[in-house]
C-alpha cells in the first residue's frame, strides 16, 4: 500500500503543549477508527510552523478524507516513491 507525507501548515506548532498534542493525536485516532484499517498513521514530525505526518493509505483521497473529518490542514500530500537511508550508500 502506498505511503504518503502530509505537510500541514500549523503556525506555532513547535510551541504546542504536550496536552495539546495529546488532544490532536486523540482526534486523529478517532477519525482513523471511523475510516477503518485502510489508512494508518505512522508518525508525525513537529517543526516550528509545520507538522509532517506519515500515512499508509490506499490513495491520496483517503488521506485527504482523514484531514477533512479531523479538521486538520493538508497543505500538501506527496506519495513516497522510494526510501533511502545511510545503508543505501552500501549499494
CA distance 49 to 35: 27
Please report the pLDDT score of residue 82 as a whole number: 97
Q: What is the pLDDT of residues 26-78, one digit of tens each?
A: 999 999 999 999 999 999 999 999 999 999 999 999 999 999 999 999 999 99
> At residue 56, what are phi and psi to the nearest 5 degrees?
-110, 125
| First vs last C-alpha separation in the chain | 25
Q: What is the number of domains present in the chain?
A: 1
- The pLDDT score that the predictor gives to residue 69 is 97
- Is residue 67 within 8 Å of 73, Cβ to Cβ? yes
Q: Which domain holds residue 23?
A: 3-83
Q: Is residue 76 part of a domain?
A: yes
- Say if residue 91's pLDDT is above 90: no
Question: Which CATH number fits the domain that encloses residue 15?
Answer: 3.30.70.3090
Residue 90, in any domain of the structure: no
Domain assignment present for residue 37? The answer is: yes
Amino acid at each position: 500500500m502506498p505511503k504518503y507525507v502530509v505537510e500541514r501548515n500549523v503556525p506555532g506548532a513547535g510551541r504546542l503543549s504536550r496536552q495539546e498534542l495529546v488532544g490532536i493525536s486523540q482526534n486523529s485516532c478517532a477519525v482513523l477508527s471511523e475510516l477503518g484499517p485502510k489508512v494508518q498513521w505512522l508518525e508525525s514530525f513537529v517543526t516550528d510552523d509545520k507538522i509532517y505526518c506519515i500515512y499508509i493509505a490506499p490513495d491520496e483521497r483517503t488521506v485527504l478524507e482523514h484531514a477533512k473529518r479531523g479538521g486538520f490542514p493538508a497543505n500538501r500530500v506527496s506519495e513516497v516513491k522510494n526510501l533511502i537511508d545511510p545503508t543505501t550508500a552500501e549499494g
